[in-house]
Amino acid sequence: MDTPLLIICLALVVVILASFSLPLLFRRRRHHSRGRLPEGHVMRKPSAYGVHSPKKIAIGRSPEWPRVAMEHRLREPACVACGYKGKHLQVHHIKPFHLHPQLELDPHNLITLCEARGREHHLLLGHLDAWNSYNEHVREDVKRFYKKSATQIRADLHWQKKMQLRP
């Protein structure tokens, strides 16, 4: 075996070894930081927060949205309609993005609502029970329906009327 061939063989072995060990190292390091910083892990997922579908962010949505949603969540960390503080929270646009794209990043157009089981304040108060509809008076309605369950809200005559007249 002559020298150039030997060098090429050695280089190949190095490349193969590196391609196997680097992803392993990387994975292990990520795993470690996740273990040490559980809160950091939550903070590193802003895109999962306030976006109905992760795919939607690519279509016309501002790259600033994850940051704005995170800042809103720091100001308003619980569901305004019940105080729920868990992972089933959404940063909801009071005036919807598809009708008012200029208000996408306006803090006054944002409200934190839950999708907690049995309450569904995002759907019932933010969208009046239809994801393609919305409720411009959600800030008033979260007070009126404070801590009410989904069943109680659906049984309320005032809410039913609003729901029938929803945009």
Binding site for Zn ion (CB under 5 A): 79, 81-82, 84, 92, 114, 119, 121, 126
Output the smallest distance, CB 143 to Zn ion, in A: 13
* Burial label, 167 (beta-carbon count in 10 A; 0-12, 13-18, 19+): exposed
Cα–Cα distance for residue pair 20/38, rounded to 1 Å: 28
Output the smallest distance, CB 40 to Zn ion, in A: 26
Cα–Cα distance for residue pair 35/75, rounded to 1 Å: 27
Output the smallest distance, CB 127 to Zn ion, in A: 6
Output the smallest distance, CB 18 to Zn ion, in A: 46
Which CB, 105 or 114, lies closer to Zn ion?
114
Which CB, 38 or 118, lies closer to Zn ion?
118
Helix (H) or strand (E) holding 132: none
Which CB, 27 or 147, lies closer to Zn ion?
147
Which CB, 40 or 86, lies closer to Zn ion?
86
Which CB, 71 or 88, lies closer to Zn ion?
88
Cα–Cα distance for residue pair 42/137, rounded to 1 Å: 31
Output the smallest distance, CB 77 to Zn ion, in A: 12
Torsion of CA 134, 140, 143, 146, to 10 degrees: -10
Q: Is the distance from CB of 145 to CB of 129 less than 8 angstroms?
A: no
Q: Is the distance from CB of 165 to CB of 134 less than 8 angstroms?
A: no
